[in-house]
Amino acid sequence: MDAMATHATGSIESKTWDFQPCDETEAGRLSRMTATDLFHGDVEGEARAEFVALLREDGSSSFAGLYVVRGDVGRRRGSFVLHATGWSGADGTSRGSWSVVDGSGTGELAGLRGTGGFVYQAGGQSSLTLDYDLG
């Protein structure tokens, strides 16, 4: 990203989460997660996610996956894909980072590039950031 990137902020509203066990390891249970979230703020729209997570006995986890976001970024409409990685503590707070997958922007978001992150607090305030430009 260059110095001309736009800084976007917003909140995350969790709509649905589903966990399907995939495998067991000594480190924990591997599960597939699907989710639907609503993004509000400078990034506005519906985000559908597919993740794989390692769920540990102590309630913590590590995860990686993709979000397909359909909506608006800075008043431009289209869709794009975010590659996300993160971790969750036993207290239910998840933190992570994401980046726009190269070439995934459509519509007015064609050429979108960016990086950012999120903090999700179960039952609490959840936030997102995205520093982006439209190359």
CATH class of 7-134: mainly beta
Residue spans of the domains in the chain: they are 7-134
> What does the pLDDT look like over 32-90, one tens digit per residue?
999 999 999 999 999 999 999 999 999 899 999 999 999 999 999 999 999 999 999 98
pLDDT given for residue 124 in this prediction: 72
> What does the pLDDT look like over 51-63, one tens digit per residue?
999 999 998 999 9
Rg over alpha carbons for the chain, rounded to the nearest Å, is 15
pLDDT band per the 50, 70, 90 thresholds, residue 107: very high
Is the per-residue pLDDT at 1 higher than 60? no
Neighbours of 47 (CB within 10 A): 22
Angle, CA of 99, 102 and 107, to the nearest 5°: 105
Classify burial at 88, counting beta carbons within 10 Å of its beta carbon; exposed 0-12, middle 13-18, buried 19 or more. buried
Q: What is the mean pLDDT of the chain?
A: 93
pLDDT given for residue 51 in this prediction: 96
